[in-house]
Amino acid sequence: MKKILWALACAALLFASCGEEATGLVKVRSGKVQGVVTEGLTIYKGIPFAAPPVGDLRWKAPQREASWDTVLVADHFAPGAMQGGHSPVGFSEDCLYLNVWTPAASKKDKLPVLVWIYGGGFAGGHTADPNYDCEALARKGGIVMVSVAYRVGKLGFLAHPELSAENPQHVSGNYGLLDQIAALQWVQENIAQFGGDPDKVTIFGESAGGISVSQLCASPLAAGLFRGAISQSGGSFGPTRPTTYPGENMKTLSDAEKDGLKIAESLGASSLAEMRALDASAFVTNGLSANGGGWPIVDGYVIPGDQYELYEQGRYNDVAVLIGYNSDEGASFGGLGGASTPEGHIAGVQKRYGKFAEDLLAAYPLEDGKVGKQARDLMRDAAFGWQTWAWGCLQAKTGKSPVYMYYFDQHPEYPEDSPRYGYGSPHGQDVAYVFQHMENSRMKESDLPLSDAMGQYWINFTKYGDPNGEGLPKWPRFMGEDDSQYMYLTGPEPFAGPVPSLESLKVLDAYFAWRRTDEGKAASL
């Protein structure tokens, strides 16, 4: 009996000397949280960072979460934001939770922090997606990983005159971005409890998550919340447009409010009170949200103005950035607007690009009368390539922080008789490589060296604001000039090379410049 008591006393002494964090128990601003300790890593899933945005809080900026007295056991993901599709944890309007993976042994470790923002066209996405599991990357790099949720679709981005009228800033529509900002504020206040360093936070995301990263870099509300940003297939540098297209997705507050009125009318709601009384499922559509209301907008508050012009003026959060896109993004979106025939492709280019249509058809030509990769690259560059290139050029010109650019191009060489002949890397393929998830992708053993290199580049950037490190091919800093280089992320070994399709990008650049003129605006209603 004495031996048992002695052992218990020793265990208590060990607990006291190591601190609560050694057991996975930490104190955050609203209460104690218990994580799951597993082989040198502690994982916390489903920590609330804001109050549930339900009832009167629907379409309002996120409010601080309520405190709790008992220990919150954070051992499972919370439901994702309301959306179409399926999730292993379901969907709920009560969705503002985040997750933490930490290898820290104590609060004193002060490890760099990498925060993931999921994609999904601002209409979907959730942190429980197995492709976004952060365990492998946290273990590989010795960094604290965080993934955050945000409202999507009409519940996350609906603008409406009544919503603007009740808002102190007289704006509405960017609640999903405000969720992301609230999560980053939570990280600043609490991440030290998990052994993270709030002064060394980097944000990263892909697709809509990468666009979010771009917009957070331009938002004054996010100033000081991160020191680095990684955008995979993101960027938001196109001008506003009443009728949107990929790469020109942004609307003004006025136009978005008109969409909100149409949505309310379609639901039979004559007032904001009636809109809030509707079940959340009424605002969910499968796929991308129809009739507007499912994308961030230029509201003059969260996003102060045209992001291209903000960067020209030096009005942005000047942090180190690592940004890029995949070689065949257009393949994932059916070329231009889904057109697979030459006739449909040409008609789509003429409808969207007006007086620039012929120049762009020449810059991104059909191949043997077919919509091949060169033609698809117009979609790729309008939505991703030009956005990234413009971002890099503008920051290299007006900022002080370093810019690193990449071009992901990892794919099989398909035989000529294959329907995939000539195809490159589609949208989203890079995610599994970064997260080290061979099991969740079509990666082969031969892809592992590239996945390993990409993971280490991302980790180095998180730690030092520079992706370079021992044993990796040199990644040059992008200087914004014609002879600047991108890092080609491809196997068997990455290498530095010229800006992809530079001359074609310059034609597209002329189009976007025209779109900002009075003539271009009048022609693009």
User: Any bridge partners for residue 113, and if so which?
Assistant: 144, 201
- Let me know if 207 is a catalytic residue: yes
329 DSSP assignment: G
Could you tell me the maximum CA-CA distance found in the chain, to the nearest angstrom?
90
Interatomic CA distance for residues 178 and 516, integer angstroms: 27
Cα dihedral 157, 215, 231, 364, rounded to 10, equals: 90
Find out whether 516 and 306 touch, Cβ atoms under 8 Å: yes
- In angstroms, the CA 490 to CA 324 distance is 13
Question: Of 69, 67, 68, 64, nearest to 52 (Cα)?
Answer: 64
Place of tokens 């559509």: 285
Q: Are the C-beta atoms of 307 and 220 separated by less than 8 Å?
A: no
Q: Which residue among 147, 172, 207, 214 is the active-site one? A: 207
- Cα 211 from chain centroid (whole Å): 5
| Catalytic option among 427, 437, 484, 524 | 427
- Which H, E and C letters describe 494-523, residue by residue? CEEEECCCHHHHHHHHHHHHHHCCHHHHHC
Helix (H) or strand (E) holding 33: strand 31-34
Active-site residue, selected from the candidate residues 329, 437, 451, 524: 329
> How many angstroms separate the CA atoms of 474 and 182, rounded?
36
**Single-letter amino acid code for the residue at 403:** V
Radius of gyration in angstroms for the set of CA atoms belonging to the chain, rounded to a whole number: 24
Residue 170 CB contacts under 8 Å (≥ 6 apart), including other chains: 164
Burial track 269-282 (b if 16+ CB lie within 10 A, e otherwise)? beebeebeeeebeb
DSSP-assigned beta bridge partners for residue 75: 45
List Cβ<8 Å contacts ≥24 apart for 464-471: 465/227, 465/228, 465/320, 465/401, 465/402, 466/320, 466/402, 466/404, 467/322, 467/404
Instruction: Decide if 329 is catalytic.
Output: yes
SS3 state of residue 225: coil
Token pair for 292: 């507007």
Residue 220 corresponds to which tokens in the numbers above? 């004054």
Spatial CA neighbour of 147 closest among 131, 156, 137, 134 = 134
User: Catalytic residues, which ones?
Assistant: 207, 329, 427
